[in-house]
Structure 1
Amino acid sequence: MADATDALIGLQNPDGHWVFELEADATIPSEYLLLMHILDEIDPDLEAEIAAFLRAGQGRDGGWPLFQGGAMDISCTVKAYFALKAAGDSLDAPHMVRAREAILAQGGAARVNVFTRILLAQFGEVPWRAVPAMPVEIMNLPDWSPFHIGRISYWSRTVVVPLLVVMAHRLRARNPRGVTIRELFLVPPEQVRDWNSNLSRSAWGTFFRAMDTALHAVQSRFPAKARRQAIERAVAFVTERLNGEDGLGAIFPAMVNATLMYHCLGYSPDHPAAVTARESLKKLLVRKPGRTYAQPCLSPVWDTAIICNALLEAGGPAAIDAARRGADWLVDRQILDVEGDWIWKRPGLEPGGWAFQYNNAHYPDTDDTAMVVIAMQRLDAVRYAEPIRRARNWIVGMQSRNGGWGAFDVDNQHEFLNHIPFADHGALLDPPTSDVTARCVWMLTRLGEGRDTVPTRRGLTFLEREQEKDGSWFGRWGTNYIYGSWSVLEALSAAGYSRSAPEMARAANWLLAHQRADGGWGEDGASYWPGQPHGEGPVSTASQTAWALLGLMAAGRVDDPAVERGIEFLIGNRNSDGLWTEEPFTAVGFPRVFYLKYHGYAASFPLWALARYRSLKG
């Protein structure tokens, strides 16, 4: 354990923070490469490096998966194929033949999702009628409108608003090499009649498809003045939240759409806003020999908070000193003077949260904030009293009506919106979830607010209600039921639930039942699909084993032989640095759509689990 502690301390930046790579699927690097072709700003060296990364990620089935080891995803595969062809790969190259055959076997490029169709429409590969109608006049709707942008999540809001302008202009890629992918369609795109055939046939879905048809028919006749006003409002929204070189929303899709918005509006490449938008994308690049890709965002606050907690669990003068330097860096990142979009639902609430990234002042989140406060409280509640006070008040103010917490928004549960044709990804909203709620409850109990206090009691009631029939809890932001169960068990333990409490016992028994033969735990992204088993995957991983162990120890099972076997798994799978590595993705951006690999998870959570075990065993 000392080796792991020293290795983590050695990775700390001089100013006190930690940041690891954050990797997604092939979608993000493919879009980065294609953006260069949209703008006719091709960097040949960068293009070649990204293309090499994409080729290396092709699956055995010929396609590209959403998570390591998963089945091909047709939308991701079409983007990767398009990017490689744009980079100059021959149609006859074996990897291109395999990809093309895989795409055609799944119905061809007409089967891709909405965001991929928007990209194809920009290149003229599909007609704009293939894209659901999203009039920019949405920006003119009043606050009470059921379709006001305040009713969707932060990530949807920052992605959609600049995209509305792009769609209104029907942006056409410059595409200097004239690349097309017509060979990926079974039927010529112009002859496809129903582009919404892959959507749900619910009553809401049927209603919104009819509305979509009507909007396509009439939107060209909307008043020009209303359109100008809507575009002006969209530009003002984006420019106010441009967030310097950390980018709109500090997430890749929103940054790309902001860049495209300024481009289609005719902004000069040297216009300050256009420059800022482009530069924010460059900060997401990872360029290493044989490994160049674009990250979906950066995770310094989250990484730093987790590692501070792991080091504090490990203890010792060097670990505590490193954690203190990390906490001091976090203090300076607390958002105290910007009322973000959350203020729409909570007017008068004093800011006090932390964002996930270096800077993202309009969009702090409850999960990061709670993890930061837990670390600060453990380290020195007096030293950090004021940051903790501001954060606690903000967290309590962000509690939803049902007692739970969403990540960025309050009461963001307008489920009917997930049925509009544009939302075929099903991730338009930010409802309260078990894992985030558990973190907030855990934070409150660390601050001495027990089960008799109103926010804690309401949060615990939400968690009890959300427990699955098999005893586990769903993990919205980490894969999946292992992550969710650990998160809730920590909260219940901190709130004083005994190991014999039904909620604790059932969850612990579920974790024990899903230990693998090698002593570890593992679960892949397939568990997010209905009907798929919970808590299972092809291999054990260090991070998920650590979560399971932390959950079992929180449930009072430290003396169970399964815990000892899990500890042995972690000890026996360290790398030469004394840390851990893992290939599988163990986190999620949007279930069934977008998965993540936090490179810091395997390096930090196992130390946390080992240190907890040592402490409990004396």
Structure 2
Amino acid sequence: MEFTQDTFRPKRREICVDNFREPTFAEVYRTIDMAQKLLLSHRKKDVLWDYPASIGTHFMSHYMLIMNWLGISTAFDKERLRKMLLKTQLEDGSWQQSKDINLSTGDINVTVFNYWGLKVMGEPINSSPMRRAREFVVSEGGLEKCAVFAKLILALYKNISWSHVPYTPYIIFSERMIMNYRSFSQWVIPHMFAIAYMRHNRLSKSFGPEYDLSELRRGQLDPLLEPKTPHELIDGIIIKKMLENQQPKGTWGGYTVATLFSVIAMTDFTAHHDKYKKEIQRSIQKSLKRVHDLYFESGEGAYTGHAMDSHYWDTILAGLALVESGYDRKKLRPTADYILSARNPKTGGIPFGFDFEYAPDVDDTAEALLFCASIGMPKRELNKAASWLMSRQSKDGGFGAFDKNNTGNFFLRWITKNLSDSAALFDYSSPDSTGNVMEALASIGYNKENSRTIRRGIRFLKKHQTPQGSWFGRWAINHIFGTACALIGLVTGGEAKDEGYILKAIHWLKSIQNPDGGWGESTKSYHEKNWQGRGFSTPSQTAWALMALIECGLADTPEVRFGVRYLLEEFKKNGKWQDQYVVGTGHPGLIYVEYPSYPYTFPLIALGKYLKAISGK
């Protein structure tokens, strides 16, 4: 695949599947053995894995600005952050939210935060990096074009007026209202209370010139709205709800950003009122320690924007990778027991990581079920999780991640329409989550003949297949992931591999294979259709495509062998698999997540499936 320097759009050329060396059993066995040993060397406490997922270094700039606004001194290494920011700046002066080598430019919001962070840390404003960043922001429309998320912090420092930030009425936080905050997605709710409080009371302070960003505006600063004194009763209700919702490790919802926003709100309230003061002080102390540990004490994840704990998810994937690639099942029983110990006692659902225990999700639960079934755990151990999964099916036949039928309504979509530039507000059913659930249920004996859940899932996937044959990927990039999950779920759920729409999806996957044998897809695919399935190859995305093709009975085909060759060569080159750009999705088209666990696990799963399929010929 070639990317032209002027447009950075992909140009296809035919793949010659005869011009590669066929993978041998010995090579595959050897690579699996080395990959298993590497994965096992990362195991902690003999049962778990923890690879810090990150959402970008600009969240370090964001953290520094919030802590300075709060007047709280921090011990993190500012020089280390400064060097990281300068190193990751692109030629046009911008920064990307997460690395995507397919693209030559970045994001205005990320660039504003990193420019601002460098300015506060003393980077000369007329230096080349600062000048280029400034020119990029202005060329993109200036501060006025920033998303609401960025405007929240800009307004705190009086760089824009709070009039540019949508107002969230407190009435939606009343459970007595039919249309209340609980109608939003799991990941939005923890942020909402603090954001509403900040906007309602128009929090802002004046600081020195290093915090002023007037050079990034294209127009005049609108009149600033004066801060309000919080009402002890009305605002106190919001603060009380926030205190009640803090999770055991100290975060709100499991997210660092929601936690920092909550600290801002509670700090402001306690500056005016003594109500809840001691409770607030304990809460803030606990929460700031947790954020510090995630951001700066997370090993290789330090200073990268490690925004949430994902160790249950990492552990599940590592266990799956080992068992699928032939590792002794008995040795993985302690890992399975550890995962099952995290089950929600009421539902049997599995959480993503620490502080997500209150909100188990279908993807973690589905993959945990698949893993536990793969090592031969008794079905009685798995029935509760399976029953919970089936109970999460939405009216449309698909599955969302955390909730079912979480699509909002006209009123909620209208009052939050201006927030959609910063987050996915609702938890719609997705092809990838639906496929994952179907595969998990199939692993313990369910199929379309004996399960209405699977039959409804099949109808959902048929309805949401694109004309080209692919499926959208909600939680990873993008159509490669969605198509892989959908195909695997359909075939394991009992659909015939020669169904017309299955063949169409297979054809699409084959058609986008890169000349190096791998598969790749850029973040750009969420914005432009012609980027779907296009991008430089990555081991994780290659593994997803291979897993689907192998499940469809195509292990002994040139395309699969070529893809396996790509994985073998990539491992040989680096002594491990590395994704050259981000492949995980947080909010489609907005925020992407770098999951370090993915290249350690998915390629190993793919090679294990390949070896079993070929050996069983």
Which category describes the TM-score, using the shorter chain as reference length? 0.7 to 0.9
Change (3 A) 1:511 1:415: farther
Q: Per-residue deviation at 1:172? A: 2.3
1:385 aligns with 2:380: yes
Do 2:522 and 2:531's aligned partners in 1 also have CA atoms closer than 8 Å? no
Separation in structure 2 between the aligned mates of residue 304 and residue 462 of structure 1, nearest angstrom: 30
Match status 1:43 vs 2:39: no
2:426 is aligned with 1:429: yes
- Cα separation, partners in 2 of 1:289 and 1:254, compared to 1, 3 Å: closer
Deviations 1:255-297 (A, max 9, x none): 1112112211125798211112212211212456996333121
Secondary structure at 1:249's aligned position in 2? coil
Q: Percent identity?
A: 27
1:494-531 per-position Cα deviation (integer Å, ceiling 9, x unaligned):
11222211232111111100000000001010000143
Is the aligned partner of 1:395 residue 2:389? yes
* CA–CA separation in structure 2 for the residues paired with 1:137 and 1:37: 31
Matching residue of 2:547 = 550
Is the 2:50–2:315 contact (alpha carbons within 8 Å) kept by the matching residues of 1? yes
Aligned residues of 1:24 and 1:296 also touching (Cα < 8 A): yes
Aligned CA distance change for structure 1 residues 501 and 246 (closer, same or farther; 3 Å): farther
Query: 2:340 matched to which residue of 1?
Result: 331
CA distance in 1, matches of 2:85, 2:279: 28
Partner Cα separation in structure 1 for residue 202 and residue 37 of structure 2: 54
Q: Distance in 1 between matches of 2:37 and 2:237?
A: 51
Q: Counterpart amino acid of 2:295?
A: L
Determine whether 1:32 maps to 2:30: no
Task: Indicate conservation of the 8 Å contact 2:167/2:196, yes or no.
Answer: no
Output one character per residue of 1:328-362: Cα deviation in whole Å (capped at 9) or x when no partner: 211211111xxxxxxxxxxxxx4221111123222
User: How big is the shift at 1:244?
Assistant: 2.4
The correspondence of residues 233-272 of structure 1 with structure 2, limited to 5 A, is 233-266=237-270, 267=277, 271-272=281-282
Matched, 1:563 2:560: yes
Secondary structure of residue in 2 paired with 1:354: coil
Equivalent-residue separation in structure 1 for 2:209 and 2:218 (angstroms): 24
| Kept after mapping to 2: 8 A contact 1:403/1:462 | yes
State the one-letter code of the partner of 1:494: T
**Aligned equivalents of 1:604 and 1:557: distance in 2?**
21
Letter in 1 for 2:66: L
Task: Please tell me whether residue 507 in structure 1 is matched to residue 505 in structure 2.
Answer: yes
Alignment of 1:79-118 (within 5 A): 79-118=113-152
- SS at 2:594's partner residue? strand
In the alignment, residue 58 of structure 2 is paired with which amino acid?
T
Segment drifting more, 517-526 vs 259-268? 259-268
After superposition, the C-alpha distances for 1:28-87 in whole angstroms (9 at most, x for unaligned) are 222112122111223364333222222222112211123323332111111111111112
| Structure 2 residue 446 is the aligned partner of structure 1 residue 449 | yes
- The superposition leaves residues 153-203 of structure 1 with CA deviations (integer Å, 9 ceiling, x where unpaired) of 1111111112212222322257477521111011122279xxxxxxxxxxx
Q: Relative to 1, partners in 2 of residues 1:544 and 1:495: Cα closer, same or farther, differing over 3 Å? A: same
Q: Distance in 1 between matches of 2:306 and 2:572?
A: 24
Question: In the alignment, what sits opposite 2:36?
Answer: 5
Counterparts in 2 of 1:305 and 1:141: CA distance versus 1, 3 Å:
closer
Letter in 2 for 1:18: W
2:294–2:302 Cα contact (<8 Å) kept: no
Q: 1:286 to 1:535 in 2, by over 3 A?
A: farther
- Are 1:166 and 2:162 matched, yes or no? no
Equivalent residue of 1:374, what SS? helix
CA–CA distance in structure 2, aligned partners of residues 15 and 575 of structure 1: 27
Cα distance in 1 between the residues matched to 2:501 and 2:236: 52
CA-atom RMSD in angstroms: 2.5
Which amino acid in the other structure matches residue 280 of structure 1? R
How is 1:73-472 mapped onto 2 (pairs within 5 angstroms)? 73-140=107-174, 142-145=176-179, 148-173=180-205, 175=207, 179-190=211-222, 229-266=233-270, 267=277, 271-286=281-296, 292-317=303-328, 320-336=329-345, 350-382=346-378, 385-386=380-381, 388-414=382-408, 416=410, 417-419=412-414, 420-425=417-422, 427-452=424-449, 453-472=451-470
Per-residue displacement from partner, 1:529-578 (whole Å, max 9, x unpaired)?
Answer: 143431001x1100000001001111111111010010000001115774
Output aligned runs, 1:522-533, within 5 Å: 522-533=520-531
Preserved contact between residue 243 and residue 250 of structure 1 (Cα < 8 Å): yes
Conserved? CA contact 1:418–1:427, under 8 Å? no
Return 260-269 or 12-21, whichever deviates more.
260-269
- Retained in 2: the 8 A contact 1:353–1:365? yes
